[in-house]
Amino acid sequence: MAAATTPVRKVEWGVANVVVIALALIPVLWMVSLSFKTPAAVLDPSFIPSAWTWSNYHEILSTTQFVRPLLNSIGIGLIATFIAVVLASMAAYAVARLNFPGKAVLIGMALLIAMFPAISLVTPLFTILRAIGLYNTWPGLIIPYVAFGLPLGIYTLSAFFREIPWELEKAAKVDGATPFQAFVRVIAPLAAPGMVTTSILVFLACWNEFLFAISFTSTIASRTAPASLAYFSGSSQFTVPTGPIAAAAVVITIPIILFVLFFQRRIVAGLTSGAVKG
């Protein structure tokens, strides 16, 4: 971009970037700062804690009230993501490749579910889960998460499948592959970056989900980390546990940051280069 090289332009962009980054980062840094403050200093308006303490972290990581929900979050998130991505990749492949009656309806329904206000489903789902005995269990959260992860997965993955040259599949068929073999040995490996991207998106959605988590659980047997934050209590019922909540929020945020940093390259690296003439 030639326009960005003039000094005035550089300054303009620099200022804009700083503003945007500051807006995004200050609340996060504030949270980190709070998590290191002593209970007495929580109301201290200074950005950098006057006295640093690990006590908030010690507190939350030594109580099953937080550790167990953290494990629930990881388990439920991973299982729901796995099921959703496997199912979504098959569905997305069909959407991208095949013409079948009712395809438009299927895509429409998927979009509809993605747009559906979750709150309107809480009551009916609550009743259903109670009736079939899944209330306050892992499957009770995994099933709705898969249902909401699928539309997201189908949309992202079908975009990736469309990018894969169709001739590769034809070549595989001519080479003697059954449609299933062609999918598993040729198409799926090429869609791997897309599957990773989709997995991250679905996992983040499950990890951050709060409404279902708080509605369909009653004990730490299945409560997830975000929901558990709401149940934190201070040393007495009159103190707000600001420090531990901030520390727990930091702990919940760390896996997300690691996740994105770790997979960033794989998302960007397109495996399909060199498949066709170039």
Partner 1 sequence: MAEITLDNVTKRFPDGALAVDKISLDIADGEFVILVGPSGCGKSTTLNMIAGLEDITEGELRIGGKVVNNAAPKDRDIAMVFQSYALYPHMTVRENMGFALKLAKTPQATIDEKVNEAARVLDLTQHLDRRPANLSGGQRQRVAMGRAIVRDPAVFLMDEPLSNLDAKLRVQTRTEVSKLQKRLGTTMVYVTHDQTEAMTLGDRLAVMRSGILQQVGSPHELYANPVNLFVAGFIGSPAMNFMAGTLEEGGVSTSIGRLPLSPQLRQALESGNSGRQVIVGIRPEDFEDASLVQAADQAKGVKFRVTIDVVESMGSDVFIYFTQESGLTAKTDQLADLAADSGTAELGSAETVTARLDPTTRIKEGDSAELWADVSSMHIFDPNNGENLTLGASQAAAS
Considering only residues 177, 196, 204, 256, which one is a binding residue for partner 1 as defined by CB under 8 A? 177
Residue tagged 């949270």 (tokens): 31
Residue 272 lies near partner 1 (rule: CB under 8 A) = yes
Nearest approach, Cβ of residue 176 and partner 1 (Å): 4
| Positive or negative: CA dihedral 187, 79, 202, 101 | positive
Query: Which of these segments, 25-33, 100-108, 167-175, 195-203, binds partner 1 (CB under 8 A)?
Result: 167-175
Considering only residues 88, 141, 172, 200, which one is a binding residue for partner 1 as defined by CB under 8 A? 172
Considering only residues 17, 181, 239, 264, which one is a binding residue for partner 1 as defined by CB under 8 A? 181
Residue 189 lies near partner 1 (rule: CB under 8 A) = yes
Number of residues that bind partner 1 (CB under 8 A): 26
SS3 per residue for the chain: CHHHHCHHHHHHHHHHHHHHHHHHHHHHHHHHHHHCCCHHHCCCCCCCCCCCCCHHHHHHHCCHHHHHHHHHHHHHHHHHHHHHHHHHHHHHHHHHHCCCCCHHHHHHHHHHHHHCCCHHHHHHHHHHHHHCCCCCCHHHHHHHHHHHHHHHHHHHHHHHHHHCCHHHHHHHHHCCCCHHHHHHHHHHHHCHHHHHHHHHHHHHHHHHCCHHHHHCCCCCCCCCHHHHHCCCCCCCCCCCCHHHHHHHHHHHHHHHHHHHHHHHHHHHCCCCCCCCCC
Residue 96 lies near partner 1 (rule: CB under 8 A) = no
Residue 269 lies near partner 1 (rule: CB under 8 A) = no
Residue 174 lies near partner 1 (rule: CB under 8 A) = yes
Residue 176 lies near partner 1 (rule: CB under 8 A) = yes
- Give the contact letters, 53-92, x = binds to partner 1 (CB under 8 A), - = no: ----------------------------------------
Considering only residues 62, 123, 127, 178, which one is a binding residue for partner 1 as defined by CB under 8 A? 178
Residue 168 lies near partner 1 (rule: CB under 8 A) = yes
Nearer to partner 1, 68 or 173 (CB): 173
Considering only residues 38, 41, 49, 173, which one is a binding residue for partner 1 as defined by CB under 8 A? 173
Nearest to 214 by CA among 144, 114, 261: 144
Nearer to partner 1, 210 or 263 (CB): 263
Longest dimension (CA), the chain: 73
Nearer to partner 1, 129 or 172 (CB): 172
Where on the chain is the footprint of partner 1 (CB under 8 A)? 99, 165, 167-168, 170-178, 181, 185-186, 189-190, 271-278
